[in-house]
Amino acid sequence: MKFMLVVIITMGSPVIGDKQNTFELRIPQENKETCEKSAKTFKFSLPVITMDTKCESKKDNEEPSIHST
């Protein structure tokens, strides 16, 4: 697996007084083409949830992960 699909999820909205929480998911992908295709399936937006995606080259010894930022 040479690429990581990075999915950034933001929940909450300062417009309605909610604190925003952001999570980052890193999902391994076989190649850039597969990664970019997978990235399209995660793109959507709701009033209090937004998602953004990007593909990055996998770093040495990088494992799938979920981080709160």
13-66 pLDDT tens trace: 766 666 788 999 999 999 999 999 999 887 777 778 888 899 999 888 888 888
Q: How far apart are CA 38 and CA 16, in angstroms?
A: 31
Q: SS3 of 7, please? A: strand
Instruction: Give tens-digit pLDDT for 1-15.
Output: 699 999 998 888 766
Number of domains forming the structure of the chain: 1
The pair of structure tokens assigned to 24 is: 């980052």
How many residues are present in the chain? Answer: 69
What is the extent of the structural domain holding 27?
3-58
Quick check: is 37 in a domain? yes
- Secondary structure of 44-55 in the HEC alphabet? CECCCEEEEEEE
Quick check: is 14 in a domain? yes
Quick check: is 16 in a domain? yes
Quick check: is 40 in a domain? yes
Partners of 68 in beta bridges: 23
Quick check: is 46 in a domain? yes
